[in-house]
Structure 1
Amino acid sequence: MKTLTVPCIPAGKPLEQFLYDSASSFIDQQPWPSGSSVPQAVFSIAYHNSSIFVLFQISEKEIRAVNTAVNTPVYEDSCVEFFLQLPGENSYYNFEFNCTGTVLAGYGPGRTRELLPEEVASQIRRTVKITRGAELTGISWELIAEIPTTVFCKHNIPTFAGLTCKANFYKCGDELTEPHYLAWNNIQTEEPDFHLPEYFGQLTFNQI
């Protein structure tokens, strides 16, 4: 099981610069190799008392962004995902974003999901940058998601400091010309399925 320590953003430190300067982790496990071109996907994660921040940096052959409304199936598009299970829980939160920042957010155990209300999911602030590569050979895109504690609406979280949680990070694109399924912490099943918390890694939020 992979482990990761989540740093706290110092007061007065510019958010984006802190994320870019933080160590990146690769989303490079291929539980279900497709034989197609494989995107490059990395993330950085940090927090302060009231929010988690995740920076995804992606380079891939093509992008798709058909879904534009909150809680529509963004996993069909060029998509990154962050799943977080709080201590002592069987259920977990899933946050999924396509390359234009459309969000799908849910809570529950396994595939028994309850979508979070639109007004809750919309509290997640998203910043996106898309860059086409030289000679149109590929596309790079970045997404920064700021997930405030209020989005974890099934819990009362005064602070993330000191928490040890389970989590996984994914890159997918179900309806791309060349579908793919990448994970940070590896999954060992025959069929693609990200909703398996037994294969989550561990996140420890540094004490302030």
Structure 2
Amino acid sequence: MKTVMLLAGFFILASQNPLEMQKDKKLIVKEIEHKGAASLKEVSTLLEEQTELNSIGVLNWEAFAYAPKVQFRIARNKNDIWLKYYVTEDNILAKHTDTNSAVSKDSCVEFFFDPLGNGNYYNFEINCIGTIHLAYGSGRNDRKYVDPMVIQKYIKAESSLGNRPFAEKTGGHTWEMTIVISAEAMTHNKGISLKGLSSKSNFYKCGDDTSQKHYITWNPIKTAKPDYHRPEYFGDLVFE
């Protein structure tokens, strides 16, 4: 049964004990073994077969009460992160096709990742047709874009909606996104090994320019206004 909590100017819609929701969440990222390079189709299948679903469903800000249904799976294969998002929302939008463009204005899923847990993080933002935005830094105003050539080489994404832009579509839609992120894409942590890594992270869904602007998170964020660039509110991500 869902409950609503009012805490210091924000609220959380939860399906579990409210006291538990106040704690940072923790995910153990399972290792999936696969010989050779896996296709995105194989990645999708292996994630389905070997990992559990996690929910992105925390509403932190009362002014933005719309909550699409969003879930994800995550695993590690060698030195790659495998992700799959599942989204059901009323309206979808995909205008941005250029790497490092403002994809958060579209129907967008995001993975913010602080590999060393030191406050410096990557914001992997991917709209619903697979356009990628990636930068690194310690906060919203301290971002360094990752070279688009690096992004194209070391990150692969495939959406069930295809890769062509479109104006907003209403009436209810369901889509999936499979993503492979090589550690080589993390150019500010050269040589990093994911195996056994204890890190910090948060997972998001947003859509700034959709008719129902929304901001939902995996781990709660305790700010007065929507702000995903808050590593102090990341949960724990531990890689096998």
- Alignment map for 1:1-208 (pairs within 5 Å): 1-12=24-35, 14-21=42-49, 22-34=51-63, 37-111=66-140, 112-123=142-153, 124-130=155-161, 137-206=171-240
CA distance in 1, matches of 2:113, 2:92: 26
Q: Tell me, yes or no, if the aligned pair for 2:64 and 2:213 is still in contact at 8 Å.
A: no
Give the Cα separation in 1 of the matches to 2:97 and 2:62.
Answer: 28
TM-score (norm 1): 0.92
Residues 219, 234 of structure 2: 8 Å contact kept: yes
Aligned partners of 2:32 and 2:76 also within 8 Å: yes
**Are the aligned partners of 2:64 and 2:214 in contact in 1 as well (CA < 8 Å)?**
no
Cα 1:157–1:179 change in 2 (3 A) is: same
Structure 1 moving runs of 4+ over 4 Å: none
* CA-based RMSD: 1.7
Percent identity over the alignment? 36
Distance 1:157 1:24, change over 3 A: farther
- Residues 57, 141 of structure 1: 8 Å contact kept: yes
Distance in 2 (CA, whole Å) between partners of 1:150 and 1:41 is 28
The 8 Å contact of residues 59 and 65 in structure 2, kept in 1 or not, is answered as: no
From the superposition, tell whether residues 8 and 116 of structure 1 become closer, same or farther in structure 2 (CA, over 3 Å): same
Q: Cα deviation per residue 1:87-139 (whole Å; 9 max; x = unaligned)?
A: 253311110000000000000001111111111121210111039xxxx8410
**SS across alignment from 1:190:** coil
Rounded Cα–Cα distance in structure 2 between residues aligned with 1:160 and 1:152: 11
Q: Deviations over 1:18-63 (max 9, x none)?
A: 2113101100001113465420000100011221011010000010
Partner deviation per Cα, 1:136-189 (whole Å, 9 max, x = no partner): 841011111100111011112353110000000000001110100000000011
Segment drifting more, 112-121 vs 35-44: 35-44
Q: Are the equivalent residues in 1 in contact too, given 2:61–2:225 (CA < 8 A)?
A: yes
Amino acid at match of 2:46: F
Structure 1 unmatched ranges of 5 or more: none
- Which amino acid is the alignment partner of residue 34 of structure 2? A
Helix, strand or coil for the counterpart of 1:113? Answer: strand
Question: Is the CA contact (8 Å cut-off) linking 1:40 and 1:59 kept in structure 2?
Answer: yes
Q: 2: distance between equivalents of 1:199 and 1:59?
A: 25
Query: Does the 8 Å CA contact 1:130/1:140 hold for their aligned counterparts?
Result: no
Q: Which runs of 5+ in 2 are unaligned?
A: 1-23, 163-169
What is the number of equivalent residue pairs in this alignment? 202
